[in-house]
Structure 1
Amino acid sequence: MIPFNKPYMTGDELYYIKDAVARGKISGNGYYTEKCHTYFKEQIGFRNCLLTSSCTDALEMAAILVDIQPGDEVIMPSYTFVSTANAFVLRGAKIIFGDSYTNNPNIDANHLEKLITQKTKAIVVVHYAGVACDMDKIMDLANKHNVYVIEDAAQAIDSYYKGKPLGSIGHLAAFSFHETKNIISGEGGMLVVNDERFDKRAEIIWEKGTNRSAFFRGEVDKYSWVDIGSSFLPSDVTAAFLYAQLENLAKIQTRRKMLWFNYQKGLAQLEENNFLQLPYIPEDASVNGHLFYLVCKDIEERTQFIAFLKGYDIHCVFHYLSLHKSPFYGQNSGSQELPHCDHFADRLVRLPLYYELDMTHQDRIVELIKRFFSKINS
């Protein structure tokens, strides 16, 4: 069977984990945590960052840092994972969902301003499939209305907008290193802090509401409970695994992007024939090879397509359900009409894409996709 995803091991993960254990400190904020932080600052260009146990944790930290209070409104796409919303709902926010573009699942920046009210505290953008949102337009709106921008960059490692790394543009950003992502640590994430106003408090929240990190740097003579917080930092064992992945970022990305463009080239004729829709990449955005999707004509065609490939032991999956149609949102916030989001929720399907995907297997997937769509459109 060709799976949808297969976690990739570079070969040094267990070596670094063993080294972390030998150093005698495997709790959070240890040797490998610092090495990962340094890598992201020096190699990617993030001004400040903190590893977390998950992207969800990073989003929850962001919600605390921008001081979300009950009744505040937070704008975000409906086509996203539930963690994007939960992080802010937990602080009492009212979620205002924005629709997707017609040609890609990202939030439509052209219709954001009408969603902003006096209660709006933040805009959360999700770079779906690692493809950048229109960050210039979004940041201009945020500055005009004095609201924060948080980038949910869970899928966006090594992806860019006008040459700037995603995650470096908003006030804060959250990344994921879940086993389905390009760079992994099993579970794991990272908060990126682009606004220096949040530096000190971010570290305190990260360390359970204490100034423990400042104490170990010798900046204070004792550490105390000084703010709210939680245990957001991951084990140094997790960081050791992640560091082995980071050392191989270029190799991993080269392979994944090659596979992505192979799909695009192999399926281009089907899009030209209007049999399906392929990913749209705006001029200012880059491809990071996180996932490759196609969009069917309707939910029935998608169901048939997934079943067809499953019959050949190829595992494809759809993705998000529209959050504005979820039972929780309906019970607490009423309803919204977001037809473009629903378009992708009903029609989008993701193809297998992972480092060790064999080229002959990918060719077989492409040929079977051609067979399926040629047959149903004949």
Structure 2
Amino acid sequence: MIPFNKPYLTGKETHYIYDAVNSGKISGNGKYTQKCQAFFEEQYHFKKVLLTTSCTDALEMAAILANIKEGDEVIVPSFTFVSTAIAFVRQGAKIVFADSYANNPNIDADKIEDLITSRTKAIVPVHYAGVACDMDKIMELAEKYNLLVIEDAAQAIDSFYINKLGEKRALGSIGHFAAFSFHETKNIVSGEGGMLAINDERFISRAEIIWEKGTNRAEFFRGEVNKYGWVDTGSSFLPSEIIAAFLWAQIENLSMIQERRVSLWNYYYDGLSKLNIQKFALPEVPDYATKNGHMFYLTCVNGEMRDKLISSLKDNGFHAVFHYLSLHSSEYYAHKHDAGRILPNSDNFTECLVRLPLFYELNFEDLDKIFDCLALTFEDVKG
């Protein structure tokens, strides 16, 4: 069986883990943590980066930094992973779910303004599949209504947005905050892991305190204060040096990993385009977005076609999966707020989207076999 995902190992992970352990400094914020953070700040022009134990933790830090409180409203796409919403639910916020575009799983930026009220505090765009949301429109709304923007960039490492001026900016560098994931399903991995990017200098000092359990310990270790203590809220968000050491081996090979993944994405797109099958749609990448090869998905014409395709691929030795269940239709949300709202595009992606295998060691011959399987599957459902 060809798996849906397989983490790529560079060969240096255990070497750097050994080095971290041998150094005697295996708790957080050591040499490898600082190397990783410095790389991301320099490479993508984030003002400040803090590694976290997960993308969920990064989002929770952002919710604290944004001072989200009981009764505040946060606009979140419905077609996303639960962490995007739950980080703000934990602070007492009311989640206002937004629909996707009809032909793109990302939040429909043209529908956000109608959702803004006097209680709205933040917008959380999710760059699905590493493809940018329309950040010019979102940032204009944020400025107009004095809102914070928290980019959920879990899938968006090394992907970019091209703004109205033609400037290319890394996803995660545009909003006030951004959260990234290094889960084993992502482009570069550390098993579990994530990071918070802070792009507004107003929040940098407090971010370190929240990261360090509500203490100013980071300032103490830099010699900026002569003692440290409890000065704010926070939690233990920072990962161990073992996780950071693993991640550093991945970072060293980021360009190579990205080149391979994007080449697989392009091969998928070109090969499936040539099949000229009308029973599914290929992913759309808007002119303002780049792709980072995080995933390749199809949107079938209905749920029956999607299920038939997944079953057929499985019978032929390929593991394909559906993706998110619309959060506004979830069991948890069913009795909350405006749970009766209808978001047809989000529900359509829930029903019809299928993710195909994509990982570094996948080869083009495997993709050719997937193409053959799709051609035979949809030949059986003509008409």
Q: Same fold (TM over 0.5)?
A: yes
Q: CA deviation at 1:195?
A: 0.2
1:313 to 313, 317, 336: 317
- How far the C-alpha of 1:54 sits from its partner, in A, is 0.1
SS in 2 for 1:332: coil
Question: What 5-or-longer segments of structure 2 have no aligned partner?
Answer: 163-167
TM-score (norm 2): 0.97
Query: Is 2:211 aligned against 1:206?
Result: yes
Structure 2 SS opposite 1:106: coil
Match of 1:330 in 2: 334
Give SS of 1:327's match.
coil
SS of equivalent to 2:376? helix
TM-score under structure 1 length normalisation:
0.99
Q: In structure 2, the residue corresponding to 1:260 is in which secondary structure?
A: helix
Question: 1:112 corresponds to which residue?
Answer: 112
For 2:177, give the aligned amino acid.
Answer: L
Deviation of 1:273 (Å): 4.2
Distance (Å, rounded) in 2 between the aligned partners of 1:195 and 1:372 = 50
Moved more, 123-132 or 355-364: 355-364
Q: What residue in structure 2 maps to residue 297 of structure 1?
A: 301
1 CA distance for matches of 2:173 and 2:84? 18
Encode CA deviations 1:231-281: one digit per residue, 9 max, x unaligned.
Answer: 0000010000000000000000000000000000011134x4422101000
Aligned counterparts of 1:370 and 1:34: Cα–Cα separation in 2: 49
1:360 aligns with 2:365: yes
Hey, what's the Cα distance between the residues in 1 that align with 2:250 and 2:368? 27
Superposed counterparts of 1:16-55, under 5 Å: 16-55=16-55
1:1-378 equivalence runs, <5 A: 1-162=1-162, 163-270=168-275, 272-333=276-337, 334-377=339-382
| 2:233 counterpart SS class | coil
Contact kept in structure 2, 1:267 and 1:370, CA below 8 Å:
no
8 Å Cα contact 2:267/2:364 also seen in 1: no
C-alpha separation in 1, matches of 2:362 and 2:341? 40
1:41·1:47 contact (CA, 8 Å) conserved in 2?
Answer: yes
Whole-Å separation in 1 of the counterparts to 2:334 and 2:93:
15
Segments of structure 1 that go 5 or more residues without pairing to the other structure are: none
Contact 1:106 1:126 in 2 (8 A): yes
Query: How far off its partner does 1:336 sit?
Result: 1.2
- Per the alignment, in what secondary structure is the counterpart of residue 328 of structure 1? coil
Distance of 1:216 and 1:178 partners within structure 2: 29
Number of residue pairs aligned between Structure 1 and Structure 2? 377
**Structure 1 Cα separation of the partners of residues 212 and 336 of structure 2:** 32
Equivalent residues of 1:75, 1:122 under 8 A apart: yes
CA distance in structure 2 between the partners assigned to 1:221 and 1:96 by the alignment: 45
Deviation of 1:15 after TM superposition, in Å, equals 0.5
Amino acid at match of 1:354: F
Following superposition, the deviation at residue 41 of structure 1 comes to: 1.2
In structure 1, what residue type is equivalent to 2:144? K
Task: Give identity over the alignment, percent.
Answer: 63
Residue type of the partner of 1:149? Answer: V
Over residues 301-330 of structure 1, what are the superposed CA-to-partner deviations in whole Å (9 max), with x where a residue is unaligned? 111111111111210000000000001111
Runs of 4+ aligned residues of structure 1 deviating over 3 Å after TM superposition are none
